[in-house]
Structure 1
Amino acid sequence: MSDQHLGTSDLRDPDTDPTAAYALEPGYVRSLTDGVLATTGRTEPTYAPVNGQPLGMVPQSSTGDVAEAFERARRAQRAWARTSLAERSAILLRLHDLVLDRQAEIMDLICWESGKARKHAFDEPLHIALTARYYARTGEEHLATQRVPGLVPGLTRVDVNRVPKGVVGIISPWNYPFTLALCDGIPALMAGNAVVAKPDSQTMLTALLGKRLLEDAGFPRDLWQVVAGPGGEIGTAIVERADYVCFTGSTATGRIIAQKCADRLIGCSLELGGKNPILVLRDADLDRAAEGAVRASFSNAGQLCVSTERMFVADQVYDRFVEKLVARTQAMRLEPGIDWGSDMGSLTSRQQLETVTAHVEDARAQGARVLTGGRARPDLGPFYYEPTILEGVTPEMTCFGTETFGPVVSLYRFGDEADAVARANAGDYGLNASIYTRDTARGRVLAREVKCGTVNINEAFGATFASIASPMGGMRESGLGRRQGAEGIHRYTEAQSVATQRLVRLSPMLGMSDETFAKVMTANLRLLNKLGWK
């Protein structure tokens, strides 16, 4: 534990109970929850999934608090929009260093609130540091005024400005409570916006630590507002006031948000559900594919938007691959606690445990074979479930097409690559895919046929996820818009074209008739085309 920040008053005796946790120091919790704008006097507990015990009490906001948050954010944004890109970049680079310096504290809190293994918690400060550095280094490139060709060469000047939207509403989930609380807001701030954020109630403390780090890096205090409460009430109030909405969560909720944004004629970006496939081709390096498949399926106990739930394996290598995959999965270490050493942590809630259990038991009852796993582990903690591999899953089974969002993957044989791609594309989702092959050029050709927003070749998900310059998002019912890259920051701006006309006006001059003007313009268009003018 990071004893500089987190306390160690025992809830259970760690010498006699392997699922024992430690309470957070009340002063530390209060210092974080002071970051919530809440005047209701109500509080709700946040729990440690590893043992179900409370970590602290989080103040709850009202819709009036949301309105006040937007008022404060709008005042702060007007001043912030006048700061230089260089100053914004400098603050982001300080954030980069702060996140790396305080990664132990960040990982401690992530592990307590989400139940994930520490090796998977590390992905979050890593991703935020990468995101902060990328937008700090490329902010000028993405946001500076751009000159574009005008109508009349030399006489028409056109500048395209990137104007901030205003106040961005961000509604983030519990599965990656640090990175998803911050990664979408970082480019919003770089673009000159303010943020009103509603993190998921299960992981408020981690998100509030993110807010503190933003302020420690130098962002104005009111620029990033945090409210807490039920999504149907507080989330709706955010959507009703924001100038742009960014949401990560279920497809069902995403549809509702998209409709509300459409009614207000504002933009939104939505990263939603997935039923992500891996294709293991006949020429794949099977050891590499098995290692990647374990990470793709069981990182964060499968509670990852881009994690794999379907695996299509060529007939020629199926048996050898399955043997390697099962062996690697059975060798995984499941250990409670927040220290290094565990290969997979707990599910985050009882609801997730019930969903995973129901999907596996439904498949088993209808004839699917459990090659390994397939049971809860209450001896480790209330929400632990073993990494599970299923074979013989058919369309009648719930887990065939419905997202499980847990440590469960189904295996399927294929004989023809075109058939494998068609089966990978089946269903309504299209978020992430992986292709394992020694012929990487062939893999890139196949990738264009896969209807997913990101495709990784010879890697589980990290190659696209950690390459911040590459846009990330879903096709079909997996979402709208993209985070990361140029699209990840341009979504928070309005493109404003400013044209300056010199010497001649764009209408008949010197007694010229409308007909003559049209002929002159036609002749000029033909000439410019011959000259290759854009």
Structure 2
Amino acid sequence: MPSAHESNGALPEILDPDLPTGTYVLEPDVVAPLTARVVTSHGAGEHRSVLPFTGAPLATVPLSSPDDVAAAVGRARAAQTAWAAVPPRERAAVLRRFAALVLDRQPDLLDLVQMESGKARVHALEEVLYASQLARHYAVAGPRYLAPRRVPGMLPALTGTTVYRRPVGVVGAITPWNYPLAMAVSEPLPALLAGDAVVVKPDPQTTLTALWVAEALEECGLPADLYLVVAGAADAGRALVDHVDHVVFTGSTATGRQVAARAGERLVGATLELGGKNGLYVADDADLASAVAGAVRACFASGGQLCVSVERLVLHERIADAFLERFVAAVRGLRLGAGLDYTADVGSLVSARQLERVTAHVDDALARGARALAGGVHRPDVGPFFFAPTVLEDVPDDALCATEETFGPVVSVRRVASDDEAVAALNAGELGLSASVWSNDVRRAQRVAARVQAGSVNVNDGYMAAFGSVAAPMGGFRSSGQGRRHGREIVEAVTEAQTVAVQRGVRFGLAVDRLYGLGAAKAAPVLTAGMRALRALRRP
């Protein structure tokens, strides 16, 4: 049922308060100002999003043509020049205000995220808290990331060398539907802090949340045209890659390869977080109560529609039966629901297409001999796209849910006899985004983690410890992406490194010129002696 709350500021109520309880309809006064922010000439048609909880229409959003995308980048580029001249600490102040605003507007924002994505409120809350934490981090640490860095020069005391970070210009962000708020800020906020402008192309289903971010940032003091939103599908995404100075993309590996290829042709940078088939290993000495609770969260957060969600449980054979007894009982007890409150543990899949994919993976596994220990069925009694949290055992290696990312509330079980077997299982396949290792012996778990080929490995946590550590880089190995979000790394990705070397002492410069003027044969011994002196002094 809709949450009852009051608006906390200028942005109006999300839901129509006059509608009957249980009716989910967005206020026209909310939708119209947001959709008016889409950069469009109104010649590219419209997209009607649906409410995943019921399948009913949610909002109609005007689409952007490729020419509209080019125009948006042009507007952003014109605004970026003045923004780059603003001191980093003043740019950081916008992020600091945004960090507070998303918490102040939490009830309305939770409603919007739930209604576009279909996730349970507890998982929408993760997005709100993440957005605030990320903004606060870059507001505090961002100016340090951008500060000029002194490095050793060619000659001690005579050469002063400084590395500066210069904004690349316009950053294009192509964001997915599964985390509409988190992905609308993950790379855009550090890019804005760095002095770049941003053009965001969200998935058509979740455009309103990105538009909310644009409106909120301007309310926090961001000048116009520095965070623009274009709406559309593949053609808008391709146009964005064709015009920006750096592209960030979160989505499938197949599409990521296309984005990387086009960015490479244009010689612009690309930060890509792609698919994951993430595994969670429970060692024979793990605390089972903690491991079960953590595994439930890791497997079914946002209905499994999470890049770092766990889809493979790897269990040491000594504890497998005991773990599964508790785990399956916990999974069967999860509450599915469509309420805009905290009564549901798991929400809906986002669309009929996603339901079709999850159903196909489960049916394929069962047809090949797998057993469903829990779930395995569509739940239309709850809503059109709901699927029961599912645990599968005896899944053949060639089953779809063993070889492909399911991206739904489905996890398979594999038993192993040792840490070595567990590492081999975790490293199977071409994807290496995230992993999890559970053991009471933290040093043992860290040794296992060091052998796992994944960009993030959580010890005694499912996924949030690494994802929430926004000062640390996050990304994938192998076919799970390139580049990193979070930390200093994303700031460096959306800036260019410029080296300025100052040679002190005009007379010394003249002496060097005279030395070279003597000819290479005479200059070589002198220069070699200088290098040996530096080595003796242990100069870097």
Letter in 2 for 1:257: V
Q: Which residue in the other structure is 2:463 paired with?
A: 461
Q: Which residue in the other structure is 1:524 paired with?
A: 530
Q: Residue 222 of structure 1 aligns to a residue in which SS? A: coil
1:56 to partner: Cα distance: 1.6
- For residues 434 and 374 of structure 1, what CA distance do their matches in structure 2 show? 24
Conserved 8 A contact 1:10-1:21: no
1:389-408 equivalences in 2 (<5 Å): 389-408=391-410
Q: Residue 496 of structure 2 aligns to a residue in which SS? A: strand
Letter in 2 for 1:183: S
Q: Which moved more, 1:254-263 or 1:331-340?
A: 331-340
Conserved 8 A contact 1:118-1:339: yes
- For residues 327 and 210 of structure 2, what CA distance do their matches in structure 1 show? 35
Q: Which residue in the other structure is 2:10 paired with?
A: none
Conserved 8 A contact 1:372-1:387: yes
1:43 to partner: Cα distance: 2.0
Q: Residue 509 of structure 1 aligns to a residue in which SS? A: helix
1:467 to partner: Cα distance: 0.7
Q: Which residue in the other structure is 1:417 paired with?
A: 419
Conserved 8 A contact 2:279-2:434: yes
Q: Which residue in the other structure is 2:482 paired with?
A: 480
Conserved 8 A contact 2:117-2:177: yes
- For residues 17 and 64 of structure 2, what CA distance do their matches in structure 1 show? 29
Letter in 1 for 2:54: N
Aligned length in residues: 527
| Uncovered stretches (5+) of structure 2, i.e. residues with no partner | 8-12
User: In angstroms, what is the RMSD of aligned CA positions?
Assistant: 1.3
Q: Residue 278 of structure 1 aligns to a residue in which SS? A: strand
Q: Which moved more, 1:174-183 or 1:38-47?
A: 38-47
Q: Which residue in the other structure is 1:43 paired with?
A: 46
1:512 to partner: Cα distance: 3.6
Q: Which moved more, 1:216-225 or 1:505-514?
A: 505-514
Identity %: 49
- For residues 235 and 336 of structure 1, what CA distance do their matches in structure 2 show? 31
Q: Residue 454 of structure 2 aligns to a residue in which SS? A: coil
Q: Which residue in the other structure is 1:6 paired with?
A: 14
Q: Which residue in the other structure is 1:250 paired with?
A: 252
1:428-439 equivalences in 2 (<5 Å): 428-439=430-441
Letter in 1 for 2:305: Q
1:10 to partner: Cα distance: 7.5
Conserved 8 A contact 2:436-2:457: yes
Q: Residue 272 of structure 2 aligns to a residue in which SS? A: strand
Letter in 1 for 2:114: C
1:488 to partner: Cα distance: 1.5
Q: Which residue in the other structure is 2:28 paired with?
A: 26
Letter in 2 for 1:513: G
Q: Which residue in the other structure is 2:93 paired with?
A: 90
1:25 to partner: Cα distance: 1.2
Would you say 1:195 and 2:201 are equivalent positions? no
Task: Give the counterpart of 1:515 among 521, 527, 531.
Answer: 521
Conserved 8 A contact 1:508-1:514: no
1:353–1:10 distance in 2 versus 1, CA, 3 Å: farther
Which deviations, in whole Å up to 9, do the C-alpha atoms of 1:386-422 show, x marking residues without a partner?
A: 0000000111211112100000000011002111101
Q: Which residue in the other structure is 1:17 paired with?
A: none
1:21 to partner: Cα distance: 3.2
- For residues 66 and 318 of structure 2, what CA distance do their matches in structure 1 show? 59
Conserved 8 A contact 2:432-2:480: yes
- For residues 420 and 69 of structure 2, what CA distance do their matches in structure 1 show? 51
1:346 to partner: Cα distance: 0.2
Q: Residue 355 of structure 2 aligns to a residue in which SS? A: helix
Q: Residue 407 of structure 2 aligns to a residue in which SS? A: coil
Task: Give the counterpart of 1:334 among 329, 333, 336.
Answer: 336
- For residues 497 and 337 of structure 2, what CA distance do their matches in structure 1 show? 51
Which deviations, in whole Å up to 9, do the C-alpha atoms of 1:440-498 show, x marking residues without a partner?
A: 11111111100000000000100000111110000001000000011021100100001
1:182 to partner: Cα distance: 1.3
1:507 to partner: Cα distance: 4.0
Letter in 1 for 2:102: V
Conserved 8 A contact 2:117-2:206: yes
Q: Residue 243 of structure 2 aligns to a residue in which SS? A: coil
Would you say 1:166 and 2:172 are equivalent positions? no
Q: Residue 45 of structure 1 aligns to a residue in which SS? A: strand
- For residues 255 and 86 of structure 1, what CA distance do their matches in structure 2 show? 36
Q: Which residue in the other structure is 1:441 paired with?
A: 443
- For residues 321 and 210 of structure 1, what CA distance do their matches in structure 2 show? 42
Conserved 8 A contact 1:9-1:22: no
Letter in 2 for 1:533: R
Q: Residue 76 of structure 1 aligns to a residue in which SS? A: helix
Letter in 1 for 2:176: P
Q: Which residue in the other structure is 2:232 paired with?
A: 229
Conserved 8 A contact 1:9-1:23: no
- For residues 403 and 438 of structure 2, what CA distance do their matches in structure 1 show? 22
Would you say 1:373 and 2:375 are equivalent positions? yes
1:27 to partner: Cα distance: 1.5
Conserved 8 A contact 1:9-1:24: no
1:34-183 equivalences in 2 (<5 Å): 34-41=36-43, 42-183=45-186
Conserved 8 A contact 2:337-2:348: no
Q: Residue 374 of structure 1 aligns to a residue in which SS? A: coil
